[in-house]
Amino acid sequence: MRDGESIVLDIDGQSYELSREAATELQDAVGDALTERREFFRTAGTFREDGSYEVSRRSADSAGNAKVFQSFDAMTRLFDRLPDEFTAEDVGRTGITGSRRHLLVRHFAEHPDFACRIGSRNPLTGKKEADIVGEDATAEVGAD
């Protein structure tokens, strides 16, 4: 394909003709739609282009401060397997090591899709609560 040529896309039986520039803009927009980073109080969650979900410290810049799950559903399954009150040690029993264990306890408490709050800071303990799903809770609210 040469500069100035158009690109034809077939989607659900419809053909669309785009300039190279428009196709590049569409590609960038699709990539942006597939990746989303949400920042919370101390943690951040990123939906990545490959379908995986990464939990990281909010301002971290190294992989040592992140845990990547195959999907958000995989992280949800981990949460579902944890007891009603869980510590970093409980998270560690699933094979997650080091500071990532504490990171996940905090992320479960901060992310509004998980019915969880911090029940205690020492030891750091997550507490599942059915009545807080969807609220914009932070990890520190309600800590004993």
DSSP string, 75-91: HHHHHHHS-SEEEHHHH
Q: Say if 47 falls within a structural domain.
A: yes
Residues 45-73: tens digit of each pLDDT: 999 988 999 999 998 766 667 999 999 99
Rounded Cα distance, 63 and 71, in Å: 17
Q: Is the pLDDT of residue 137 over 50?
A: no
With beta carbons less than 8 A apart as the criterion, state whether 79 and 91 touch. Answer: no
Any idea which of 9-18, 42-51, 78-87, 102-111 has the lowest mean pLDDT? 9-18
Any idea which of 14-18, 77-81, 122-126 has the lowest mean pLDDT? 14-18
DSSP string, 98-124: TTHHHHHHHHHHHSTTS-EEEEEETTE
The widest CA-to-CA distance across the chain, in whole angstroms, is: 65
With beta carbons less than 8 A apart as the criterion, state whether 84 and 108 touch. Answer: no
Is residue 13 domain-shared with residue 58, that is, in the same domain? no
Count how many domains the chain has.
2
- What are the respective helix, strand and coil percentages of the chain, to the nearest 5? 35, 30, 35
Is residue 42 domain-shared with residue 95, that is, in the same domain? yes
Both tokens assigned to 90: 């409980």
Is residue 58 domain-shared with residue 118, that is, in the same domain? yes
| pTM higher than the cut 0.75 | no
Q: Say if 144 falls within a structural domain.
A: no
Task: List the beta bridge partners of residue 46.
Answer: 37, 54
Say which amino acid occupies 24.
T
Is residue 9 domain-shared with residue 54, that is, in the same domain? no
Any idea which of 29-33, 68-72, 113-117 has the lowest mean pLDDT? 29-33
- For position 26, what pLDDT does the model report? 79
- Domain residues for 126? 35-132
- Neighbour tally for 85: CB within 10 Å: 13
Rounded Cα distance, 101 and 142, in Å: 21
